[in-house]
A and B are shown apart, each in its own frame.
Chain A
Amino acid sequence: MTSTIRRSSTVAIAVIFCGLLLFTFVRSGGNLGNFGITVLSGLFQGMLLFLVASGLSIIFGLMDILNLAQGTYFMLGAYVAYDIQHAGGVVDLTQTIPNPNVRFPLALIGAVLVGGVLGVVLERGLLRRLYSRPVFQLVLTFGVALVLTEAIKAIWTTTPYSWTEVFGLRTQTFELFGQAFSVYRLFIIGMGFLLIIGIALLLRRTRIGIIIRAGVEDSTMVEALGINVRAVFTLVFTLGCAVAALGGAVAAPFLGASSSLADAFLLQAVAVVVLGGMGSYEGSAVGSLMVGLAIAVAQDATIGTSLSVLPSITPMLVLILILLLRPSGLFGSTR
């Protein structure tokens, strides 16, 4: 039963991806440059979504919490990274560490730490009281998102920040079949793939990963085996928040740090997690890439036409279509 479901959705996913690629290829009229740019742009947008969606997905999978503050943690990561990288703000490391290329990894680490610490605070301090009441958890995380956003505005003001330089990558472009593509976008694609592989290894190859996956299946049973599931919950929530903050820090040199970052990605990320099948990590990875590619194809196909609204509703359209065909998402179990 399960294997047939897996197989049929693998076929469906393959068909959708091939269809999108074929459509782009035919449209580009054999011009490899245009085709390559569309595909790369799709990969880039998919990875950007995945940076927010991955944390949402692992948290939902184990704890059944749709963390609406996830977008805010993403934004927080961007601001913390900016703060560490540049002068002004809360800390100023430009004197102590003059090399910006050394400060960048520090910025990423700082974002992860701040995101993780605030994740622990949220889980231990507030969410823990509300297990088994999903709607209340939703409202609580929404309230946290509002408060955190205001706190960020208070600390870093509402003026958007844009980045100076990271390894000389930010403004560089490279040529692909005669078309220019930003190097930093390629860097984000790479980071996205690293994140996918890293978390997959953690879930598949480590003891804690096995416990998390078992907890997704049946957390009562895991608890009966003598494992402290509550502690695992805290760990996973922290991990999810830290990953979101890391995503924000990675994307910040490209997107800048502004107070609209949270809303810009949260809805699309939620859509991706749901269409991938709630709680399935592979699902949200495949879903991100699918939505990213669909957006890029829609952008390419409707540019300059009266249908230019299409790319912005594409994530929602893909979600609705997938849910109509498969009510529990691509990889969701039909419980």
Chain B
Amino acid sequence: MGQTLKRTLRENWLYALILIGLIAFPFIVGAITGSSPNGVPRGDRMIMRGESVRWQAVLIELFILSILAMSYNLMFGFTGVVSFGHALFFGLGGYILGLALEYVAMDTGVALVVGVLAGVAVCGVVGLLVGLVSLRLSGVYFAIFTLAIAEMFFIYFGRLPLTRAEDGFPITELPIWLDPAQSRLTFYYVALAFFVAVFLFIRRLMNSPTGAVFKAVRENEDRAQAIGYNTLRYKLIAIILAGMIAALAGMLQILLNKKVGPELLGISNTVNPLLMTIIGGIGTFTGPVVGASGLHLLDTILRESVITIGSLSIRIADVWELILGGIFMITVIIFPQGIVGTWQRRRGKRVG
């Protein structure tokens, strides 16, 4: 027992260190900047003000993006299924939880549990249905088919009067202990827990026999079929699991923003995880997390800064898309394996 624990720790010391860092993060930032990790009390309510609370929000968003990117990588990087409809699951999960919280007359705690379970279940079923009808399509046809389905939902929810069309609706009924505007520290740990759980789940899955078949499907589907695997079934499993995990990310997103709107289903929630995965490293465990963290932190830090060249001053926020486009172009041309992939390859060469 002690032996296994020691070995696990020795192999994963970096992960353990990062995890401890993330757990202590709100307090470290609080100590450095002299702000409380709980926010500022005013009467019996808390006001979310101060550096620690602000950075907690940044990291929560980072966890959400990472979960979304990891789920995309499970399908795209490990199983080789290129879908352009991932935003469908992200948005659907968010909408279902939002509807359960706001539109169903239930105790908020119960509604929360029911909403999460229903959202994950519905996304699983939708993944199954979409996969069943579309997996016989090949390559680009499959990608565009999934894009069309996601886009239909996007347009539909953007016009649906029940969910207030393109304005969306706010989340008002939320248990106080989870409310990111009241107890953000708790919400931070909830998001962190989901993030760690998804990471461990995907790692465990990919080290299992099922994961091995996923990789076989990616490498050569015909051959995997020839040795007797029902590759369609494995691709379906990958799509369903990825859809359910993306639904969780969507739920965290609506809880953090306390708002549900059609932009959740927008194409950027497909494109972002795709690009984050590619920049971080396709088919690696840490790649999507590195890609998501890199882009999100860069965005957060650079957004408010201003560059002055002579008399010309440029706000980074105005040219952010330009920078983003440049990053994509440079990555695919110079580091096609992504950050983690390139690093692993260099290290592999030195060792071998």
Contact = CB atoms under 8 A, between A and B. Distances in A.
Contacts of A329: 141
A149 B329 CA distance: 14
Contact of A139 (B134, B136, B267, B328): B328
Most chain B C-beta atoms within 10 Å of own C-beta, residue among A126, A139, A140, A324: A139
B24 interface: no
A270 interface: yes
B275 interface: yes
B278 A270 contact: no
Interface residues of A, number: 37
Contacts of A323: 134, 137, 141, 145
Given A309-B155, A327-B136, A327-B141, A320 B148 contact: yes
Interface string B307-330: 000000000000101101111110
A78 interface: no
A139 B324 contact: no
A316 B329 contact: no
Most chain B C-beta atoms within 10 Å of own C-beta, residue among A149, A150, A329: A150
A140 B332 CA distance: 7
A278 interface: yes
A202 B192 CA distance: 59
Given A309-B159, A316-B149, A66 B140 contact: yes
Interface string B144-181: 11011101100110011000000000000000000000
A313 B156 contact: yes
B274 A139 contact: yes
B75 to A, nearest CB: 13
Contacts of B242: none
Contacts of A327: 136-138, 141
B128 interface: no
A143 to B, nearest CB: 3
B329 A140 contact: yes
A309 B166 CA distance: 12
Nearest to A263: B267
Interface stretch (A82-90, A130-138, A241-249): A130-138
A147 B267 CA distance: 18
Contacts of B160: 309
Contacts of B105: none
B286 to A, nearest CB: 20
B130 to A, nearest CB: 10
Nearest to A324: B133
Contacts of A308: 159
Contacts of A126: 329, 333
A146 B160 CA distance: 30
B333 A140 contact: yes
Interface of A: 66, 126, 129-130, 133-136, 139-140, 142-147, 149-151, 267, 270-271, 274, 278, 308-309, 312-313, 316-317, 319-320, 323-324, 327-329
Interface of B: 82, 133-134, 136-141, 144-145, 147-149, 151-152, 155-156, 159-160, 267, 271, 274-275, 278, 319, 321-322, 324-329, 331-333, 336
19 contacts: A126-B329, A135-B82, A136-B336, A140-B332, A142-B271, A142-B325, A143-B324, A143-B325, A146-B322, A146-B325, A149-B321, A150-B322, A278-B140, A313-B156, A316-B149, A319-B148, A320-B145, A327-B137, A327-B138
Given A136-B278, A147-B322, A327-B138, 5 more contacts: A139-B274, A143-B332, A270-B147, A323-B137, A328-B141
